[in-house]
Amino acid sequence: MGKTVGIDLGTTNSVIAVMEGGKPTVIVNTEGDRTTPSVVAFKDDGERLAGKVARRQSVLNPENTLYSVKRFIGRRYSEVTDERKLVPYKVTSGPNDAVRFDIRGKKMAPEEISALVLRKLVDDAAKYLGEKVTDAVITVPAYFNDAQRSATKDAGKIAGLNVLRIINEPTAAALAYGLDKKSNETIMVFDLGGGTFDVSILEVGDGVFEVKSTNGDTHLGGDNFDKEIVDWLANEFKKDHGIDLRNDKQALQRLIEAAEKAKMELSTTLETQINLPFITADANGPKHLDTKLTRAKFDDLTAHLVERCRGPVKAALADAKLSEKDIDEVILVGGSTRIPAVQKLVRQLTGGKDPHMGVNPDEVVAVGAAIQGGVLAGEVKDVLLLDVTPLSLGVETLGGVMSRIIERNTTIPVRRSQIFSTAEDSQPAVDINVLQGEREMARDNRSLGQFKLDGIPAAPRGIPQIEVTFDIDANGILKVSARDKGTGKEQTITISGSTNLNKSEIDRMVHEAEIHAAEDKKHKEEIEARNEADSLAYQVERQLKDLGDKVPVHEKARVEQLLGDLKTALKENAPIDRIRTLQGDLQQAAYSLSQSAYQQAGGGPAGGSAGPPHGEDVVDAEFEEK
Amino acid sequence: MSRQESDTPQDEILSLRKELQEEKNRHLRTLADFDNYRKRVERDIEANSTRGKKELIKELIAVLDNFERAFAQIEDEQVKQGLQMVYQQLFSLLQRHGLEVIESLGKPFDPCEHEGIGYLENLNILPGHVAGELSRGYRFGGSLLRPARVMVAKRPVRIE
């Protein structure tokens, strides 16, 4: 059995997605794009083109290049009188007054054309996935009637697909946000695409969606916004230079591209520079277009377009006999919903509700269709819903620092271990404090439990190897064990419910960590510096002891003096800068100490450290002795 | 999972077998999914390393275009020559990084590499072939970066 895909067969662009390992993925076509133009062309040699390639030759071959076919699918010839006039290809009538296209003398049904778009999407998907694609879920607008739905299904069949289901676009969008799990909620889906605007009101209960009302504007979309910018640029230029750039094909092309780019930029910035050097020339020489477009100006230019969305939303609410405060969820679909003024209007019309917009609005419908496909193919139900650890887990180490063992958002089940050691000579036991949270210091995080591993044989600090293992099973139960690798002695604690925190608590903890990130980091660095200094003092002390009287007396006295200073500074919690200076001095003194010691002993390698050997995988964080 | 008291050991064995089979299936499918995913990630990593470069070069092409527009309009030969050197410097740098020019003039119109802007009446070039180039097309790393914008030849309409 091949893969099941979800297809958003759009008026201007189409998107295809698939479930993989339980997650929806949008498929990239052979041109490297995530969307494919819904355009089909027939060349004079009979070759058929679909997608971007077809669009590139549309100007040369307008009568045999079909786009916006979705406006005709499943409709009668007598119903499309207006649409017919807007396209350059020939629309005629077939049996039972059905719409047919006249292409190079051959009559073709809209289903056949849409099938070619579907075929292109599916073929590219098969290439991408490396396996056959057989089954599909295809989306249609909520207002599509039976004839339009069955024609869309037929298009799938003609393309060789087994169409598992035809679902509504707004329903697919709601599925992409997992809203099928809600009970008795009212959802508004606001879909402003490239050329059409649809608003739908849905009700969800028991995993079933019901369309309460739909409304829209079949000729309103992103292209209208671009055109406003083009006209503004051209008018301004004409005012300044007396030349209408719209009459020059090439200049107009540059204007259109610049307008679209400017529109996109203004979704994230407050102003953008439009820079088109050598846009044209007159008797006085070359002319350049160099202007700034602010978001305020853009909003001003397009206010009437944004305003055109208001009526349909109000009408949809009225048809559903609802008011704005009855809406529980709002979903934004279509690239044009990235425009800040559009989002502002949506908020205004839904009582200030924050809309869902986490999923790419160009892809959300296909993503939802893929999820539906996964459910129908039994994949979604079967795939274990893999959970993640909502917060980091770790242990407290020397100086009250949290040492992370499992980072937040790690997929479970998971098992991680790290090796720690002791902080003092002959330390008989280590305390394991199991922590959860994102802060750097142990005290700012939540302690999930504590236990002690004792019976560690007497050894210099840093020598014992204590392996700490965190193991979270598929049910979120955390088992922490500490094992002395020397003796094999082990202690374990089991903590359940480490993953089922409520969302607001997780958010609070993550948020707090963000706020305190800088100070926490500084604090942690200080403690690490102190630990390092302490470790150096310890090593030098041992070195002095080991070398005994091989060291010249005056040098020994100097090192002892520096050592004493550093230890006092550490004990008195002196400022970190002072500790760093003292540490540097001591390090230098220690080097020359061993150097002169080896020289006296008959010249061995200089500069070797006489400190205790560290195991290779010993982490430089050590347990505090209690 | 609780089983009914009345289940015989035989029933239990059967249901456990079935359960095991399902689990095995699921496990294998996840493994397969993961394996495919891993392969694609490897492919994607490769693609990504060129994608960043591709994005940058794509934006720089607009600068190349503007140089060409400038040459067409600058009259001072000295300035033009200097500017041409700057252009050449930029262009050969981009070429070293994998930018290729699409030769379109005189070639049959091919929407895989050309974007048709209109027709030109021309007797010297075969109909359906490229008679003029409004802006250059480029490839990068073997794939299309931007199609050439072209005018396609057609026979002049005879006025009788």
Contact between B116 and B128 under an 8 Å Cβ cutoff? The reply is no
Two structure tokens written together for A334: 């279509």
How far is A314 from A331, CA to CA, in rounded Å?
16
**What is the dotted CATH code of the domain comprising B100-160?**
2.30.22.10
Asked whether residue B138 carries a pLDDT value surpassing 80, the answer given is: yes
Task: Kindly list the residues from chain B whose CB atom is less than 8 angstroms away from the CB atom of residue A250.
Answer: 117, 134-135
The alpha-carbon gap from B14 to the nearest alpha carbon of chain A, in Å, equals 20
Put simply, whether A283 touches B (Cβ < 8 Å) is: no
List the domain range (segments joined by +) for residue A586: 501-596
Query: Per residue in A144-183, pLDDT tens?
Result: 998 999 999 999 999 999 999 999 999 999 999 988 888 8
Query: Per residue in A612-623, pLDDT tens?
Result: 444 444 444 445
Domain boundary among A492, A524, A557: A492
The 10 Å CB-count burial string (b at 16+, else e) for A535-571 is bbbbbbebbbeebeeebeeeebeebeebbebbbebbe
- Average pLDDT, integer, range A433-441: 90
Domains B1-97 and B100-160 alike in fold: no
Backbone torsion region of residue B31, taken as left when φ is above 0, otherwise alpha when ψ lies between -120 and 50, otherwise beta: alpha
pLDDT class of A386 with cuts at 50, 70, 90:
low
The 10 Å CB-count burial string (b at 16+, else e) for A576-597 is beebeebbebbeebbeebbbbb
CATH 3.90.20 given to domain B1-97: yes
pLDDT at site B8: 85
Is A582 part of any domain?
yes
Task: Select the residue of A20, A59, A285 nearest B117 (Cβ to Cβ).
Answer: A59
Is A617 part of any domain?
no
Which residue would you say has higher pLDDT here, B48 or A565?
A565
Two structure tokens written together for B140: 């990068």
Is A616 part of any domain?
no
Subunit contact B111:A249, Cβ cutoff 8 A: no
Backbone torsion region of residue A242, taken as left when φ is above 0, otherwise alpha when ψ lies between -120 and 50, otherwise beta: left
A231 part of the active site: no
Task: Select the residue of B34, B115, B118 nearest A21 (Cβ to Cβ).
Answer: B34
Contact between A139 and A365 under an 8 Å Cβ cutoff? The reply is yes
Subunit contact B37:A129, Cβ cutoff 8 A: no
Give the residue among A116, A118, A203 at the shortest CA–CA distance from A168. A203
Model confidence, pTM:
0.69
| Active-site position among A3, A70, A153, A556 | A70
Put simply, whether A572 touches B (Cβ < 8 Å) is: no
pLDDT class of A20 with cuts at 50, 70, 90:
confident
The alpha-carbon gap from A61 to the nearest alpha carbon of chain B, in Å, equals 9
What angle, rounded to 10 degrees, do the helices at A517-547 and A553-571 form?
150
pLDDT class of B110 with cuts at 50, 70, 90:
very high
How far is A526 from A457, CA to CA, in rounded Å?
31
The alpha-carbon gap from A56 to the nearest alpha carbon of chain B, in Å, equals 5
User: Which DSSP helix (H) or strand (E) runs through A99?
Assistant: strand A99-103
Query: Per residue in A202-251, pLDDT tens?
Result: 999 877 888 999 999 999 999 999 999 999 999 999 999 999 999 988 89
- Average pLDDT, integer, range A540-561: 81
| Active-site position among A8, A379, A534, A622 | A8
Asked whether residue A448 carries a pLDDT value surpassing 90, the answer given is: no
As a whole number, the mean pLDDT across chain B is 86
pLDDT at site A617: 44
| Residues A180 and A286 both lie in one domain | no
How far is A224 from A235, CA to CA, in rounded Å?
16
pLDDT at site A231: 96
| Active-site position among A191, A396, A444, A520 | A191
* Close Cβ partners of A214 (under 8 Å, ≥ 6 residues apart): A141, A142, A143, A170, A198, A199, A200, A201, A316
pLDDT at site A299: 96
Subunit contact A20:B116, Cβ cutoff 8 A: no
Asked whether residue B6 carries a pLDDT value surpassing 70, the answer given is: no
The 10 Å CB-count burial string (b at 16+, else e) for A387-399 is eebbbbbbbbbbb
Subunit contact A382:B118, Cβ cutoff 8 A: no
Peptide bond into A413 cis (omega under 30): yes
pLDDT at site A163: 94
Q: Count of CB atoms within 10 A of residue A498's CB?
A: 23
Asked whether residue A362 carries a pLDDT value surpassing 70, the answer given is: yes
Token pair 């003292």 is found at: A582
pLDDT class of A512 with cuts at 50, 70, 90:
confident
Contact between A334 and A346 under an 8 Å Cβ cutoff? The reply is no
| Residues A36 and A110 both lie in one domain | yes
A169 part of the active site: yes
Asked whether residue A610 carries a pLDDT value surpassing 70, the answer given is: no
pLDDT at site A594: 73
Please provide the distance, in angstroms rounded to a whole number, between the alpha carbons at the two ends of chain B.
91
Please provide the distance, in angstroms rounded to a whole number, between the alpha carbons at the two ends of chain A.
62
pLDDT at site A382: 43
| Residues A164 and A261 both lie in one domain | no
Task: Kindly list the residues from chain B whose CB atom is less than 8 angstroms away from the CB atom of residue A49.
Answer: 111
- Average pLDDT, integer, range A79-102: 93
Contact between A204 and A179 under an 8 Å Cβ cutoff? The reply is yes
Query: Per residue in A422-433, pLDDT tens?
Result: 888 888 889 999
Whichever domain contains A224, its CATH number is 3.90.640.10
Is A110 part of any domain?
yes
- Average pLDDT, integer, range B34-51: 78
| Residues A419 and A341 both lie in one domain | no
Which residue would you say has higher pLDDT here, A608 or A268?
A268
Q: Which of A320-329, A474-483, A552-561, A595-604 has the highest average model confidence (pLDDT)?
A: A320-329
pLDDT class of B2 with cuts at 50, 70, 90:
very low
Token pair 């080991």 is found at: A546
Whichever domain contains A357, its CATH number is 3.30.420.40
A8 part of the active site: yes
pLDDT at site A141: 94
Tell me what percent of the residues of chain A surpass a pLDDT of 90. Answer: 55
Cβ pairs A/B, distance under 8 A: 65
Whichever domain contains A414, its CATH number is 2.60.34.10
Contact between A57 and A65 under an 8 Å Cβ cutoff? The reply is yes
Task: Kindly list the residues from chain B whose CB atom is less than 8 angstroms away from the CB atom of residue A59.
Answer: 116-118
How far is A342 from A303, CA to CA, in rounded Å?
9
As a whole number, the mean pLDDT across chain A is 87
Which residue would you say has higher pLDDT here, A505 or A30?
A30
Structural domains of chain A, count: 4
Report the number of secondary-structure helices (H) and strands (E) in chain B: 2, 6
Subunit contact A20:B36, Cβ cutoff 8 A: yes
Query: Per residue in A173-187, pLDDT tens?
Result: 999 998 888 888 999
User: Which residue of chain A is at minimal alpha-carbon distance from B48?
Assistant: A32
How far is A548 from B23, CA to CA, in rounded Å?
67
Give the residue among A91, A103, A107 at the shortest CA–CA distance from A43. A103
Task: Select the residue of A54, A130, A278 nearest B36 (Cβ to Cβ).
Answer: A130
| Active-site position among A112, A135, A169, A198 | A169
Is A508 part of any domain?
yes
Whichever domain contains A534, its CATH number is 1.20.1270.10
pLDDT at site A1: 55
Subunit contact B116:A57, Cβ cutoff 8 A: yes
Of A103-107, A384-388, B133-137, the least confident: A384-388
pLDDT class of A605 with cuts at 50, 70, 90:
very low
Asked whether residue A345 carries a pLDDT value surpassing 90, the answer given is: yes
Subunit contact A249:B117, Cβ cutoff 8 A: yes
Q: Count of CB atoms within 10 A of residue B51's CB?
A: 13
How far is A434 from A404, CA to CA, in rounded Å?
10
Is A124 part of any domain?
yes
How far is A248 from A238, CA to CA, in rounded Å?
13
pLDDT at site A559: 83
How far is A506 from A512, CA to CA, in rounded Å?
10
- Looking at A373-532, which runs of residues are DSSP E strands? 393-397, 401-406, 414-420, 430-436, 446-453, 466-472, 478-484, 490-495
Contact between A361 and A333 under an 8 Å Cβ cutoff? The reply is yes
User: Which residue of chain B is at minimal alpha-carbon distance from A130?
Assistant: B36
Is A505 part of any domain?
yes
| Residues A470 and A353 both lie in one domain | no
- Looking at A141-222, which runs of residues are DSSP E strands? 162-168, 185-192, 197-205, 208-217
| Residues A473 and A413 both lie in one domain | yes
Taking an 8 Å Cβ-Cβ cutoff, which residues of chain B contact chain A?
26, 29-30, 33-34, 36-37, 39-40, 66, 69-70, 72-74, 109, 111-112, 114-119, 134-135, 143-144, 147, 149, 152
Distances (CA, A) of A302 to A78, A152, A244, A339, A410: 34, 34, 21, 10, 45
DSSP β-bridge partners for residue A48 = A42
Query: In the sheet where A185-192 sits, what is the strand order?
Result: A208-217, A197-205, A185-192, A329-333
pLDDT class of A625 with cuts at 50, 70, 90:
very low
| Residues A588 and A471 both lie in one domain | no
User: Which residue of chain A is at minimal alpha-carbon distance from B51?
Assistant: A32
Side chain identity, residue A350: T
| Residues A213 and A324 both lie in one domain | yes
Asked whether residue B50 carries a pLDDT value surpassing 80, the answer given is: no
pLDDT class of A498 with cuts at 50, 70, 90:
low
List the domain boundaries for chain B.
Answer: 1-97, 100-160
